[in-house]
Structure 1
Amino acid sequence: MSKASNFTTNQLRDYSTLFSRNQVKSWFKNDFTSIYQKIYRYDEEWLTMNNSTYVEYLRYVYKVLESHYQNEYIFKNSFLNECLIKEISSTNSQIFSEFRVGNAVADLAMFNGTSKVFEIKTEMDSAKRLDFQLQNYQRAFNEIYLVLPESKLYQYQHIGKEIGIIVYQPNFIEKFKVIHKAIPNQTVDKNTIMKVLHTHEYKNLVKSHFGKLPKMTSFNQFEKCRELILQIPNDELNSYFISFMKARQKSIALNKKHYREFNQISLALKLSKTERKALMEHLKLPIKPNHVLSTS
């Protein structure tokens, strides 16, 4: 196998593309072209290893990236495994990857008795858009956390005290450390919440609170419902918002013990237990030495 001293930035960047959504979707179809491209390019010894499987190779690549190239996937997956998965499995929580709020997209959002958003900044990210992102998140979430490498902490000293900060310490047993907790904010912006909600959600919210829907058409239903939602007390609207977000998506298959490298894939693709099991069955197939790469 490749030695640490031989890993170039281009190789690590190339490895990291294996954990993209499009590549994972192809594995469901037994299309492992993306994996073979990396094997032929860097790791031909895997073709001569008896009974080696795709999942074994992917776990090897993941470990390389974890040690040498902590891109967004590795960082998010580590944070999910180390900090969030226990809470998700032990409470009635719902978690989202890439949750849109206004004109920003949050890396991770979690809803249980409160709403939390986690913005992740890796070694490769800049703070350029952070103020804009935080402004959007503050309109909809009760708690906001910034998650970043410890080495980058100095770049974010200007962040307001209401924003929680969690740092990543790769050389410690507990890799993530809370520098300070977020100061809870119970005041959400009603117009922002209205825009986050899907049509059936804001209609159901109005019906739940007022007992019925107003007279409306498909052309004016947004404005009619918005007028009523603006009348709901803030704390009640916050509770409605959390409950509707918890009901928005099906339960995602995350595993605390087995194949933890693929938890962020499950979250990003919203895989059920059946779908995750099917993916792993595909990946447990043996690597075939005589596989011919497509020319695409």
Structure 2
Amino acid sequence: MGKLLQSEDQRDAKLLFEAYSTTLSETRLKSLVSDMLGLGLEDIGDSARSFANRFILANYPNETTIKANFINKVLLPLSETTVSIFELPIGKSRVDICKVNGHSAAYEIKTDLDSFYRLESQLADYFDVFETVYVITSEKRWDELPDYVPAECGIYSYRQRKDGTYAFSCRRKATKATKLDAQKQLLTMSKKDICETFDLPSSGQSKGSVAEQCLQLYSSQQINRAFKNYLKRRYRSNWHHLKQNSALLYEIDYEWFYRSELDPEIVY
């Protein structure tokens, strides 16, 4: 899509987001916010991190901010058995976020800052591996998705309220896939994980040969069940850490804490 016109707040929020780091001290962050936005310390308030989080979420609706709000509104309220995953590599793509409970789902975010250039190949990868696939895009773009987006693909739209928060609407529910690529699911896992999941010896074998054994020994339905169980087992700790601490975290830091699993009190 063409270059979007940006307000001064949007430009400032983009620059602040690019300069921001979860590990910055409060003192350093307060100085950064003051210098970048031309604000006095009294304008920033007691917490520069809280100010930066609010300012970025309200003025720079990029992938990180949309993802965090989608997690808050849609994924966090789900059952305790649900596990969500950030940035999982699938084929030649990397899915923005996915979840696994009784079934698996992938969510690809396309904000107004993004083009649909890679969407076709991304969806092809996700439909091979996940039982349901969704695109998340803005309220003004959801009905402008390219023709190659299949009817089986679900759609969420988002809109930003006047207070800077986001609301999400499910515009189309995804259709559950009946045929998945078992080999692609296996190759998403490491050789060690494949061997442990399917109780196979790993010594002297390549990842490809181990995956081939699984394809010969197990049905695609059995591999799909094992793949979902593997994802829940592999990422359960990360997701539960984020879920249990979400009330203490700033949204722009969600992915950092998901990966590090550090206590917010240590960082903040």
| TM-score, normalisation: structure 1 | 0.77
Query: Is the CA contact (8 Å cut-off) linking 1:141 and 1:188 kept in structure 2?
Result: yes
The code of the aligned residue for 2:210 comes to C
Partner of 2:54, secondary structure, is helix
- 2:26 and 2:49 in contact (8 A); partners too: no
Contact 2:105–2:131 (Cα < 8 Å) also in 1:
yes
Corresponding residue for 1:239? 225
Match of 1:226 in 2: 211
Counterpart of 1:136 in structure 2 is 125
* Greater Rg by CA: 1
TM-score for the superposition, normalised by structure 2? 0.84
Secondary structure of 1:248's counterpart equals helix
* Partner SS state of residue 139, structure 1: helix
Deviation at 1:34, TM superposition (A): 4.9
Runs of 4+ with >6 A deviation: none
User: Per-residue displacement from partner, 1:81-117 (whole Å, max 9, x unpaired)?
Assistant: 1111111xx3212111111001000100111111111
Superposed CA offset, 1:176-229 (max 9, x none): 00011110014221221121011221001221xxxxx35x633x2424322221
Shift of 1:71: 1.3
- Does structure 2 retain, via aligned residues, the 8 Å contact 1:99–1:106? yes
State how far apart, in whole Å, the 2-side matches of 1:275 and 1:9 are.
31
The aligned runs of 1:30-179 (5 Å cut-off) are 30=25, 33-46=28-41, 48=42, 52-53=45-46, 56-87=47-78, 90-156=79-145, 158=147, 159-171=149-161, 175-179=167-171
- CA separation of 1:275 and 1:236: change in aligned 2, threshold 3 A: same
Unaligned runs of 5+ in 2: 1-5
Closer, same or farther: CA 138–259 of 1 in aligned 2, 3 Å: same
Indicate conservation of the 8 Å contact 1:81/1:260, yes or no. Answer: no
Residue correspondences, number: 256
- Identity of aligned pairs, percent? 18
Q: Which amino acid aligns with 1:164?
A: G
Report how far residue 65 of structure 1 moved. 2.8
Which residue in the other structure is 2:265 paired with?
277
* Contact 2:12 2:36 (C-alpha < 8 Å) held by counterparts: no
